[in-house]
Copies of this chain bind each other. A is one copy, B any other.
Amino acid sequence: MTDPASLLDDLRARLDRVAAATGTEAAAVLTDPDTMEPYRQDWAQAPNPGRPLAVVRARSTQDVQEVLRWATAHAVPVVPRGAGSGLSGGATAVEGGIVLSTEQMRDLVVDPATRTATVGPGLLNAELKRAVAEHGLWYPPDPSSFEMCSIGGNVATNAGGLCCVKYGVTTDYVLGLTVVLADGTAVRLGGARLKDTAGLSLTKLFVGSEGTLGVVTEIIVRLIPAQPPRSTVVGVFPDVVACSEAVLSVTRRIRPAMLEFMDTASIRAVEADLRMGLDTSAGAMLLAQSDATGPERAAETELMAEAFRANGATEVFATEDPDEGEMFTAARRAAFTSLGKLGTLLLEDVGVPLPALPELVAGIERIAAERDVAIALVAHAGDGNTHPIIVLEDDDPDRAARAQLAFGEVMDLAIGLGGTITGEHGVGRLKAPWLPAQLGDDVMELSRRIKSALDPQGILNPGAVL
């Protein structure tokens, strides 16, 4: 049964049986090329996406199980997909495979007593945040794309965001998962328990595995009490290296609730796009927040302002007004979108141990000059995670080729500084060629052994990560 029509008939029949057994509507199996087109790519726009056999919009764990039983039986590759906002091509379609979308799996139960929420992978990060806020609770991980990225995708990439410098990343908030394995077996891992060390740490293994080990169909997250209102300190700097030194002056002494960086190119792009009144003459800008309370709050705010001044800030502005602070945060979050209006982007996500940050930003400037390409820089500076963004404003093929070289050189640079090729976006397909240089042969081999143990046919997201 290898002809596509019979394969799809079998798939539809299986999903119909699930629907009949559970008394629900059957999962949609989309095969029209136009309808499938938006499912071939995520935001990374990786080159040469495949033409999928079908897109399945799963409605339940049972649907996902049935798709994977079918895929195992017929050795069909499956690319799991959340909201499609990934930045590394982790959800790029594979030729002749299935795109398995979890966008309709949007259940949510908030339990204030255990301070947890049970979430479907299709729920958006912002929707989870809003729902738990009604209970005075907070789900910290906050990718800049939080209004359109899904919790399932956040789990797949171990997503971060602006709060991580103080509050950690997605894996720090995942207590339990339901995962469907390659053969269709559904396993429940962990649960609504703050402490549980029974057996291997499988929950954590699946976080960040980018759909290569299983498909996550339910997530139990830990919540914490609502964040107190934040004070904001903005510093304007003559250049990126002074700015990086200021970051170290802050992180050596306190743990800010946010410490974000924008270079002049990203400031100008956002200002041109949104007219927020940003200082476009700035060489770089730091945006810091404190959510401490009591006397510590004033102390942290003042310490950050002083660290900025001591490292050459030409202007320092502090505010207790949350709306004013949010305006600056919104400017920072808008950088990708605003830069995207200038041309085609190649997004990096390299991170280094904090003391190497000045060397990293100086090295990125050098690569941009040597390759004669524009590289804008925004960063979650407080945790050493930077987003160099290569901007191609024209269609010059020679420049595009140099941009590809620069893309790799930035990753090489980060690896050489003891860093990582991806802090929070994942490896996906775009960065997979650089993974061995970071991890080394032995860790690659170890990873492949685990992959083979869980997905012996290699049907889960082939081409991504490993």
Contacts and interface: CB of A to CB of B under 8 A. Distances in A.
Given A213-B200, A255-B224, A195 B383 contact: yes
Interface in A146-193: 157-158, 160, 164-165, 168-169, 171-172, 181, 185-189, 191-193
A63 to B, nearest CB: 18
A57 interface: no
A244 interface: no
A420 B196 contact: yes
A353 interface: yes
Contact of A383 (B187, B194, B202): B194
Interface stretch (A99-107, A390-398, A442-450): A442-450
A409 B172 CA distance: 32
Contacts of A449: 453-454
A202 B439 CA distance: 11
A25 to B, nearest CB: 27
Q: Which of A115, A191, A255 has the most CB of B within 10 A?
A: A191
Given A114-B355, A196-B420, A200-B205, A450 B450 contact: yes
25 contacts: A113-B251, A113-B355, A114-B353, A114-B384, A115-B354, A116-B353, A158-B201, A164-B195, A169-B197, A172-B172, A187-B442, A191-B418, A192-B353, A193-B383, A195-B420, A198-B422, A200-B212, A200-B465, A201-B207, A204-B205, A204-B207, A293-B294, A293-B295, A446-B454, A449-B453
A372 to B, nearest CB: 28
Given A195-B383, A420-B193, A450 B453 contact: yes
B164 A194 contact: yes
A289 B250 CA distance: 29
Copies of this chain, count: 2
A86 to B, nearest CB: 12
B293 A197 contact: no
B443 A187 contact: yes
Given A115-B251, A198-B421, 19 more contacts: A115-B255, A160-B195, A164-B195, A187-B443, A194-B383, A194-B385, A197-B208, A197-B427, A198-B420, A198-B439, A199-B444, A199-B466, A200-B209, A201-B206, A202-B205, A204-B205, A205-B205, A446-B454, A449-B453
Given A113-B248, A443-B199, A194 B165 contact: yes
A352 interface: yes
Contact of A225 (B160, B196, B254): B254
Contacts of A197: 157-158, 160, 169, 208, 420, 422-427
A194 B171 CA distance: 12
A224 B355 CA distance: 17
Contacts of A160: 195, 197
B422 A200 contact: no
Interface string A226-251: 00100000000000000000001001
Contact of A195 (B198, B351, B431): B351
A316 interface: no
Interface residues of A, number: 91
A131 interface: no
A202 B443 contact: yes
A194 B424 contact: no
Contact of A188 (B351, B383, B440, B453): B440
A187 B446 contact: yes
A292 interface: yes
A69 interface: no
A275 interface: no
A288 to B, nearest CB: 15
Contacts of A213: 200
A419 B193 contact: yes
A202 B427 contact: no
A347 to B, nearest CB: 14
